[in-house]
Amino acid sequence: MADKTGYIGRNPGDSSVIIAKQYYTAAGIQTDFSFSAGYTVGYLDVYLNGIRLISPNDYSATDGSNVGLTTYAIAGDTLELVAYKAFNVGNVTNAGGNFNVGQNLTVGGNSNVTGTYNIGIHSAGTEIASEVKNLNFVGAGNTLQYDASTNTVDISIAGGGGGGIGTALGESAPLDVVFKTAQNFAVAAGTSVTIDVDDVTCGNVAMIKPGVILVGTGATFHIAPSTTLKTNVLGLFV
């Protein structure tokens, strides 16, 4: 037989769930007790001098913080309140300490973070920052492509501080003013690209820096009848 350590009824130590306990010693006649740790109604055990009381015959506990005895305790009596903090993944309302998830965590609603959280940013495989909350893309023509197989986002930035010349070879002098740009404009296999500029203020002219347009297998590349596309606008490629 398991050791009940003096308890008549269920021993709180037998429970596999997280529990919170609070002890009181009555200084005189007392019926009402406040449980600072709080409890979930229906998940509370009350022991008076080691004997488990029965709800609602012996006590009432209906508001999550207070317990009232039906028969008062007298000076020297010991009252123990045991709240069973049963963990239900489907209904987590409060986690005051660290919350570790061993596998995937899916949030069906909004996720509001009041502390810090980490998002890693890498450039060419080198970590740039580990604690970032906002990404601000400056300049026109920025594109983002998500790869679901690797859970990565490829970011292509055009324009910005470099005036759209190309990609700087470095982030500091002197390479921050030395640029490179792709020679080919590739249309991926099976995709369709249409260049259509409907803007008389720019003469319906579109331009690209590459000098060669490569169209993949099964892909299509269209230039609208009213649009003029000029390639190799920087004159870099023969």
Check pLDDT > 90 for residue 224.
Answer: yes
Give percent of the chain with pLDDT exceeding 90: 33
For residue 82, what are its two tokens?
């045991």
**Which of the pair, 7 or 80, is modelled with greater confidence?**
80
Report how far residue 233's alpha carbon sits from residue 210's, in angstroms, rounded to the nearest whole number: 8
Predicted structure pTM score: 0.34
Under 8 Å CB-to-CB from 112, ≥6 apart: which residues? none
Report how far residue 226's alpha carbon sits from residue 202's, in angstroms, rounded to the nearest whole number: 12
In tens, the pLDDT along 66-77 reads 999 999 999 999
Q: 138-142, 151-155, 159-163, 222-226: lowest mean pLDDT where?
A: 159-163
**Res. 163 pLDDT band, cuts 50 70 90:** very low
**Res. 107 pLDDT band, cuts 50 70 90:** confident
For residue 27, what are its two tokens?
């200084």
Instruction: Compute CA 207 distance to the chain's CA centroid, rounded to the nearest angstrom.
Output: 40
In tens, the pLDDT along 168-194 reads 888 788 888 888 999 999 999 999 999
CA angle 195, 231, 188 (to 5 degrees): 55
Q: What is the pLDDT of residue 8?
A: 59
Pick the closest to residue 206 from 228, 236, 186, 188 (CA basis): 228
b/e string for 55-92 if b means 16 or more Cβ within 10 A?
Answer: beeebbbeeeeebebeeebeeebebbbbbbeeeeeeee
Check pLDDT > 60 for residue 85.
Answer: yes
> Which sequence spans correspond to the domains of the chain?
12-85, 140-179, 181-238
